[in-house]
Structure 1
Amino acid sequence: MSAFVGAIKVNSVSSSGVFHIGDAYYIQPISSAKTYAGGGSFNTGNGIRVRLGQSDTVVFDQDHIDY
């Protein structure tokens, strides 16, 4: 069923966002990212102790293609 839409003001739409007005059957925003980080990198909180001996972060991509 169609709708009547009044005035619209869009300040911003993020890079992975979707702005749509009207009827829609299927909307799917697509976004991907690859993050490399070593052990203990994304810890949050008070009094965290991380003890790493020898740590490696492997960043080799065998197929060079990301989906």
Structure 2
Amino acid sequence: MPAFVGAVQVINIGSSGVFHIGDVVQIHPISNTKTFSGAGSFNTGDRIKVYSQQSSTNTFDQDGWDQGTLLTM
């Protein structure tokens, strides 16, 4: 059954977000990211002490192609 929609104001939609008005069977938002981080980057908690002396993060990707996201229905 169709919907009757009045005025709509969209302020922001993220990179993997979906804005849809109307009938739909399936919606599949997909997003891929690659994260590079050094020693102790994702530590959380109280009173964490990280001793990494010298840290270097290698961001070189020699193959240039990563595994994609497979959409299955």
Q: Deviations over 1:14-63 (max 9, x none)?
A: 22211111111111112111011123111123210123366554434343
**Structure 2 unaligned residues grouped into runs of 5+:** 69-73
Q: Report the RMSD for the aligned CA atoms in angstroms.
A: 2.1
Q: Which residue of 2 aligns with 1:30?
A: 30
Q: TM-score w.r.t. structure 1 length?
A: 0.72
Question: How many pairs align?
Answer: 67
Q: TM-score, normalization: structure 2?
A: 0.68
Q: Which amino acid aligns with 1:43?
A: N
Which portions of structure 1, spanning 4 or more consecutive aligned residues, are displaced by more than 6 angstroms?
Answer: none
Identity of aligned residues (%): 58
Residue segments in structure 1 that go unaligned for 5+ positions in a row:
none
| CA distance in structure 2 between the aligned counterparts of 1:15 and 1:64, rounded to whole angstroms | 22
The amino acid of 2:37's aligned partner reads: A
